[in-house]
Amino acid sequence: MHEEVTALNPYHMAVQQFEAAAEKLHLSEDMREVLRQPKRELTVNFPVRLDSGRIKTFTGYRVQHNVNRGPAKGGIRYGPDVTLDEVKALAMWMTWKCAVVGIPFGGAKGGVICDPKQMSSAELERLTRRYTTEISIVIGPHSDIPAPDVNTNSQVMAWIMDTYSMHEGFSIPAVVTGKPLSIGGSEGRNDATATGVLFVTRQAAKRMGMPLKGARVSIQGNGNAGAIAARLFHNEGCKIVAVSDTRGGIYNESGLDPSAVLRHKQERGSVIDFPRAQRVRVQDVLEVPCDILIPAATEGVLTAANAGRVQARIVAEAANGPTTPEADKILFDKDTIVIPDILANAGGVTVSYFEWVQDLQSFFWGVDEITKKLEVIMNRAFSAVAEKADQYHCDMRLAANMQAISSVAEATQVRGIYP
Ligand code: NAD
């Protein structure tokens, strides 16, 4: 297996994908200029008291790409490698994602440069509360609604909700989604991203005549998206042949038991050294023999350097931006179906939308109703994108971007330019 590859600048990648769709749509240059750039980019530098008594200054971002179809919506990630360009790319992808599944939100994203694995829970709470305060000038239940992303979870969302509510003097659950159920979270939110990935993969497999039962699945990333996808695809009858986290990967051609792998990770901090599996590197799980590949970790992992070695027939992008434009071309040329991120992982934001609606009306739905509504939305979006891809003889990413960009352009056009 081969050396790791370095990722492209994700914002350049997002703009390149946008230009390809805009070109195909014959969008005017004036409209392209409006849609190409984020509406707002907020950078905040703020001090946090560490457990040692030291005060460390952190940098965070909140970017709103476009709000013509509704309030801005998008996750917050913590990590040492967070950059403004990454947040800008993720915000743009959120705009297209909400449009492709037809939910009334624009796109946003946030991030803080920090190493959450080296911080205590108390330090993370202080960092979250101060960051929330710093970005409270742009977030709100009717303006911009954050959610979890890499290295943030329902506890972090609870701290954001509490901080924002403390400033207002009463509880405002709809300011953030992905919250615990006890404070206005939604049934089904935790599994929503992976459930959506399963729904669209079922549709893709059906179109290819590939039975999901017995299909071999390899998954990069073992967090909210990846670990839950492993469980759901396993329950569907698939064979999970490989999984990985930041420290490495494991492979067993006869299949791994995802719940045993998760227990092992909880006890040892990583999937590596799982018994009865071959140790492989993080990048190798992208290339092992499998039918379905689910990148569920980070951007820019499938590139011109390794796409030719991908053996899967379906790539279902649970992660945002895992495939570079060059890799897209290589995969398309060898008839690999790539279900693009803005469609494949839209289950998360769709159930976030359900959570927001439930919070605003203070009336909550059961998990069966949520799953049914999610399935309708995901299947409808998949069919629309697949039809467009057939019509234009193009890959599903271009088709999904065309679908989304035309809908945002139409909203921009009909609203008109203020003043
Ligand atoms: P998470 O923090 O729960 O898990 C991330 C996983 O990826 C971890 O197992 C980590 O070890 C692994 N990882 C991180 N960086 C890596 C790297 N450089 N190489 C290999 N592995 C790495 O995060 P998550 O919420 O599961 O998000 C994963 C991806 O899914 C991200 O791209 C995120 O934007 C996307 N996504 C998540 C949601 C959601 O609801 N959580 C929704 C849509 C999209």
pLDDT the model gives residue 168: 97
Distance between CA atoms of residues 238 and 241, nearest Å: 9
SS3 category, 244: strand
pLDDT the model gives residue 277: 97
Distance 243 CA to ligand 1 centre (A): 13
Give the number of other Cβ atoms within 10 Å of residue 83's Cβ: 16
Distance between CA atoms of residues 203 and 382, nearest Å: 7
DSSP letter (8 states) at residue 203 = H
Q: CA nearest 132: which of 144, 122, 149?
A: 144
| Encoded amino acid at 55, one letter | I
Q: How far is CA 312 from the centre of its chain?
A: 21
% of the chain beyond a pLDDT of 90 = 98
Give the position, in ligand 1's atom list, of the atom nearest the Cα of 151: 2
- Active site includes 109? yes
Is-contact 201 292, C-beta < 8 A?
Answer: yes
pLDDT the model gives residue 5: 35
pLDDT the model gives residue 148: 96
% of the chain beyond a pLDDT of 70 = 98
Sign of CA dihedral 181, 187, 191, 196: negative
DSSP letter (8 states) at residue 371 = H
Is the pLDDT at 415 greater than 90? The verdict is yes
Q: CA nearest 151: which of 172, 185, 128, 180?
A: 128
Q: Is the CB of 152 under 6 A from ligand 1?
A: no
Is-contact 73 352, C-beta < 8 A?
Answer: yes
Is the pLDDT at 3 greater than 60? The verdict is no
Contacts from 212-215 at CB under 8 Å and sequence distance 24+?
A: 212/236, 212/237, 212/238, 213/237, 213/238, 214/238, 214/239, 215/239, 215/291, 215/292
Q: CA nearest 194: which of 214, 216, 221?
A: 221
- Alpha helical stretches, state H, 25-81: 29-36
Which tokens is 54 given?
């030291």
Q: Where residue 155 falls among pLDDT bands split at 50, 70, 90? A: very high
Q: pLDDT tens digit string along 279-323?
A: 999 999 999 999 999 999 999 999 999 999 999 999 999 999 999
Q: For a substitution probing ligand 1, which of 87, 149, 265, 280 has the most ligand atoms within 8 Å of its CB?
A: 149
Q: Where residue 8 falls among pLDDT bands split at 50, 70, 90? A: confident
Which residues sit opposite 74 in a β-bridge?
146
Complete edge-to-edge strand list for the sheet that includes strand 278-280: 278-280, 248-251, 239-245, 216-220, 292-295, 314-316, 337-339
Q: Is the CB of 319 under 6 A from ligand 1?
A: yes
Is the pLDDT at 6 greater than 80? The verdict is no
pLDDT the model gives residue 113: 98
The residue annotated as part of the active site, out of 109, 179, 239, 388, is 109
Nearest CA to ligand 1 atom 29: 319
SS3 category, 113: strand
Is the pLDDT at 351 greater than 90? The verdict is yes
* Preceding omega of 419 cis (within 30 degrees of 0): yes
SS3 category, 310: coil
Q: What is the CA radius of gyration of the chain?
A: 20
Angle (CA) 379 97 179, round 5°? 90
Distance 108 CA to ligand 1 centre (A): 17
